[in-house]
Amino acid sequence: MPRRKKNAQDAPIIKVVKKNDKLPSRLLGMKDFTYLEQACFDLAYSRAFELAGVYGFKSIKTPILESFDLYKKTLRRERDKEAYNVDCEKGEKAVLRPELTQGMIRSYFENNVEIENKVARLFSFGPIFRREKLQSGCYRESTQFDLEVIGTKKPMVDALLIAIANKYFQNMQVEVQLQINSLGDALCRKEYCSKLSSFYKERGRKSKLCNGCKLSLPKNCLSLLDCTNDSCAKLREEAPQIADFLSVDSRDHLTKTLEILDELKISYNFNPYLVRGLNYYNDVVFEFWPINKDGSINTLALAGGGRYDGLIENLGGPSMPASGLAIGIERMISKIRDKSSLTNYREEDIVFIAQLGDQAKLKALQLSDELLEAGYNIKQSIITDSLREQLEEAAQMKAKVCLIMGKKEIMDGTILMRDIDSGAQETVVFKKIKERLVKKMSA
């Protein structure tokens, strides 16, 4: 080792700055994504876009900053205190968006010139901001994968959103349990709330409620069913259940939705205490709760949604039914047990599935799951009833093959395979569709 000269200048000493000595720390309630977590986030983003595309949803991007008026009628209980307010010019009040749904609705009606007789299928992927109570799994900036269907009240739509979420969690290797309930329509919910309020106000019961529930009782008694306080949770077991107050239409809507889930072999837990904490939902509501390593259920939802048939009119738009789903990306990624296994996702030529009739739609949902698992790039328009429109959509996205199912094919146990470029088509036995696709796609 060379000897240092007597008057040689010492090498500069690098001073290690201790944490928080000079560099500002990350704000409370915020989260960084680094290395493997960021890789999972990127994959969550790409798979969200791919899955939304399979079912014909169109991407939409809205501003992070929105008018407070867009949210003031629909904020969660006490959420007005948790919104991040921003002062703008001329005294206009704005917020960092606490949800994606309202902004997507605003954008659709503000920019769309083809609203009449159309069913809109929209999705978005981006950040939301809430001044959340600091606890594990809750962040003040978080990311949502959001899907909205505007313009139809069919139970198939609610089941479709649930099926998409279920498939998304499977793709991301996250184990979940579906919780589902019905809040009924406005009239039956009003009757139920009157009974529920009377129940909690009876002597001896109100005193057992936590302070938060005592404050919520006169404003939103449904929120008491959602409380996790031990005393409140025990008390609600004696409370009347909304299922006993559902109207004929609401009961029928719920029954049909559950029947479709049964057909799709999606397991669920009927949860009479699930209310979602928002004041604009009606009829079917649902959440996906994570399953812990020991098999127990964690009640911190990874996703949630439901029907909101009165929200658009409440915001100042036309009276139109709608249903939506939001998946929390940060919470989901935290539940991925083997993050390193989520790599090398392949994409093949597009196979478009077209269908006519409810039975064909059900069969198409089942078939798309099987073909996705087999590695095919599947696209379809499950909401569209017109075969011509579906074939046009397949041509626009340059699909290689279109698989067509109608009433006749369902009865015969077959499927019609159409080459998009040549228009040539052949009838294939349904059980042999995978075998035939292998030859077709490799040709």
Q: What is the mean pLDDT of residues 74-78?
A: 58
Predicted local confidence at residue 115, as pLDDT: 61
- What confidence tens digit (pLDDT) does each residue in 147-162 have? 999 999 999 999 999 9
Q: Is the pLDDT of residue 197 over 60?
A: yes
Q: Is the pLDDT of residue 337 over 90?
A: no
Rounded Cα gap, residues 391 and 297, in angstroms: 43
Q: Is the pLDDT of residue 14 over 60?
A: no
Predicted local confidence at residue 219, as pLDDT: 81
Q: Is the pLDDT of residue 19 over 80?
A: no
Q: Is the pLDDT of residue 1 over 70?
A: no
Instruction: Give me the residues paired with residue 146 across strands.
Output: 124, 326
- What confidence tens digit (pLDDT) does each residue in 268-280 have? 999 999 988 777 8
Predicted local confidence at residue 75, as pLDDT: 62
pLDDT band at 208 (very low <50, low <70, confident <90, very high): confident
Rounded Cα gap, residues 218 and 411, in angstroms: 55
Q: Is the pLDDT of residue 347 over 60?
A: no
Q: Could you tell me which residue, 313 or 91, shows the higher pLDDT?
A: 313
Which of 58-67, 78-87, 332-341 has the lowest average pLDDT? 78-87
Rounded Cα gap, residues 303 and 39, in angstroms: 21
Q: Is the pLDDT of residue 10 over 70?
A: no
Which of 67-76, 243-252, 325-334 has the lowest average pLDDT? 67-76
Look at domain 350-442 and name its CATH class. Answer: alpha beta
How high does pLDDT run on average in the chain?
A: 87
Q: Domain spans of the chain? A: 36-185+247-341, 188-236, 350-442
Out of 3.65.10.10, 3.40.50.300, 3.40.1280.10, 3.30.930.10, select the CATH number for domain 36-185+247-341: 3.30.930.10
Predicted local confidence at residue 117, as pLDDT: 59
pLDDT band at 9 (very low <50, low <70, confident <90, very high): very low
pLDDT band at 345 (very low <50, low <70, confident <90, very high): very low
Q: What is the mean pLDDT of residues 35-42?
A: 88
Q: Is the pLDDT of residue 333 over 90?
A: yes
Q: Using alpha carbons only, what angle is made at residue 55 by residues 177 and 310, rounded to the nearest 5 degrees?
A: 75
Predicted local confidence at residue 5, as pLDDT: 41
Which of 2-11, 35-44, 324-333 has the lowest average pLDDT? 2-11
Q: Is the pLDDT of residue 379 over 70?
A: yes
Which of 15-19, 126-130, 176-180 has the lowest average pLDDT? 15-19
Predicted local confidence at residue 348, as pLDDT: 59
- What confidence tens digit (pLDDT) does each residue in 133-186 have? 777 778 899 999 999 999 999 999 999 999 999 999 999 999 999 999 999 999
> Cα separations (Å) of 331 from 138, 156, 202?
8, 27, 39
Percentage of residues in the chain having pLDDT higher than 70: 90
Q: Using alpha carbons only, what angle is made at residue 281 by residues 315 and 244, rounded to the nearest 5 degrees?
A: 145
Q: Is the pLDDT of residue 6 over 70?
A: no
Predicted local confidence at residue 146, as pLDDT: 98
Percentage of residues in the chain having pLDDT higher than 90: 58
- What confidence tens digit (pLDDT) does each residue in 300-324 have? 899 999 999 999 999 999 999 999 9
Q: Is the pLDDT of residue 13 over 70?
A: no
Predicted local confidence at residue 255, as pLDDT: 97
pTM attached to this predicted model = 0.85
Rounded Cα gap, residues 48 and 236, in angstroms: 37
- What confidence tens digit (pLDDT) does each residue in 400-411 have? 999 999 999 999
Q: Is the pLDDT of residue 111 over 60?
A: yes
